Amino acid sequence: MLKIIVILLIIFLIIFIIIGLYCGLTIRNYSIESEKIVSNVKIALVTDLHSCYYGKNMHTLVDKIKKQNPDIILLGGDIFDDKLSNSNTDIFLSNIYKKYPIYYVTGNHECRNTLKNFKEKMAILDKYNVIRLKGDVKELRINNSIISLCGIDDPSISNINEIDNNYKVQLQRVGRKADKNTFKILLTHRPELIEKYVQNEFDLVLCGHAHGGQWRIPGILNGLYAPNQGLFPKYAGGYYKINNTIMVVSRGLSKKRKYIPRFYNPPELVIVELKNKK
Ligand SMILES: [Fe+2]
């Protein structure tokens, strides 16, 4: 009897591990209602791609985005990597830029190398008309809704010798400039700075960086470890509401397995639908 129980436990453990290591691209949907939204807006949030491979011509990711048919694509940092070649990200952007408006903010991995290396990455964004937000507000009319899209650099931008590179100054500036009567979105890389974001009364913060805490067990553990948050991170991934600000943290698209593979944490494309609150 004991032998059978042990065998069953081992089988269960093997199945549990195999399912946990599944790394297929998933779509995570969020629906957010606001009186400031007049007509529906669909946002695709792409974060932490780290220039990972998603099939020939990046078709797995590109096809998923096209099937969702978003109004806008937001790139929430670490789209490139500091060690991997830029080519997969270059191919990815080349396949989507004609169809969608694309906005970008820096992540920490884009700021880890030299200024020359950083400029090479930014040149790829320019090639595909991707707009980099570095303390800027863009008032966008999407369908009939008016959105103030704010974006700030990652704090590690200070590693790069750029002018106007203090993220705190950028945050205050966008908070001041954005029209409160419009739906205010902050695109940023790091979730753990939420206390600072909240002070500027954004309706929605979109970010990544935490990679879902790398290891998860749904319903039990929402992430084991995240950079800048440490063990059992509070903002590993998902939906959070702090005062009147909603924050959506993408678990990101990185498939790098150098140290620890993702566990019950498949890479994700986040789709946020903004709807009118009746
Ligand atoms: Fe990051």
Please determine, for residue 162, whether its predicted confidence score (pLDDT) is greater than 70.
Answer: no
Task: For residue range 89-114, list pLDDT tens digits in order.
Answer: 999 999 999 999 999 999 999 999 88
pTM for the full predicted model: 0.95
Please determine, for residue 67, whether its predicted confidence score (pLDDT) is greater than 70.
Answer: yes
Distance 107 CA to ligand 1 centre (A): 5
Please determine, for residue 260, whether its predicted confidence score (pLDDT) is greater than 90.
Answer: no
CA–CA–CA angle 7, 11, 15 (5° rounding) = 170
What dihedral angle (degrees, nearest 10) is formed by the CA atoms of 56, 58, 61, 63? -70
- In the sheet where 131-132 sits, what is the strand order? 26-34, 268-276, 41-46, 72-75, 102-104, 131-132
The mean pLDDT of 30-56, rounded to a whole number, is 97
Contact 73, 66 (CB under 8 A): no
CATH topology of domain 25-276: Purple Acid Phosphatase; chain A, domain 2 (3.60.21)
141 strand-pairing partners: 146
Task: For residue range 163-198, list pLDDT tens digits in order.
Answer: 667 899 999 999 999 999 999 999 999 999 999 999
Please determine, for residue 257, whether its predicted confidence score (pLDDT) is greater than 70.
Answer: no
Contact 44, 73 (CB under 8 A): yes
pLDDT at residue 177 in the model: 94
Distance 62 CA to ligand 1 centre (A): 22
Contact 215, 186 (CB under 8 A): no
Contact 120, 78 (CB under 8 A): no
Give percent of the chain above pLDDT 70: 97
Per the structure block, which two tokens stand in for 21? 């290591």
CA distances from 253 to 24, 26, 27, 147 (A): 10, 9, 11, 26
145 strand-pairing partners: 142
Half-sphere exposure (CA, 13 Å, Cβ side) for 271?
A: 18
Task: For residue range 130-147, list pLDDT tens digits in order.
Answer: 999 999 999 999 999 999
Distance 40 CA to ligand 1 centre (A): 30
pLDDT at residue 21 in the model: 85
Please determine, for residue 26, whether its predicted confidence score (pLDDT) is greater than 80.
Answer: yes
Distance 189 CA to ligand 1 centre (A): 7
Distance 209 CA to ligand 1 centre (A): 4
**What is the overall mean pLDDT for the chain?**
94
pLDDT at residue 255 in the model: 86
3-state SS string for the chain:
CHHHHHHHHHHHHHHHHHHHCCCCCEEEEEEEEECCCCCCEEEEEECCCCCCCCCHHHHHHHHHHHHHCCCEEEECCCCCCCCCCCHHHHHHHHCCCCCCCEEECCCHHHHCCCHHHHHHHHHHHHHCCCEECCCEEEEEEECCEEEEEEECCCHHHHHCCCCCCCHHHHHHHHHHHCCCCCEEEEECCCCCCHHHHHCCCCCEEEECCCHHHCECECCCECCCEECCCEECCCCCCEEEEECCEEEEECCCCCCCCCCCCCECCCCEEEEEEEEECC
Distance 208 CA to ligand 1 centre (A): 7
pLDDT at residue 259 in the model: 67
Distance 225 CA to ligand 1 centre (A): 13
The mean pLDDT of 9-27, rounded to a whole number, is 90
Distance 210 CA to ligand 1 centre (A): 7
Distance 214 CA to ligand 1 centre (A): 13
Residue scoring higher pLDDT (34 or 162): 34
pLDDT at residue 160 in the model: 82
The mean pLDDT of 12-28, rounded to a whole number, is 90
**Which of 78, 90, 75, 26 lies closest to 48, judged by CA?**
78
pLDDT at residue 163 in the model: 64
Distance 12 CA to ligand 1 centre (A): 34
Distance 11 CA to ligand 1 centre (A): 36
Distance, in Å, from the CA atom of 178 to the CA atom of 191, rounded to the nearest integer, reads 20
Distance 48 CA to ligand 1 centre (A): 6
Distance 249 CA to ligand 1 centre (A): 12
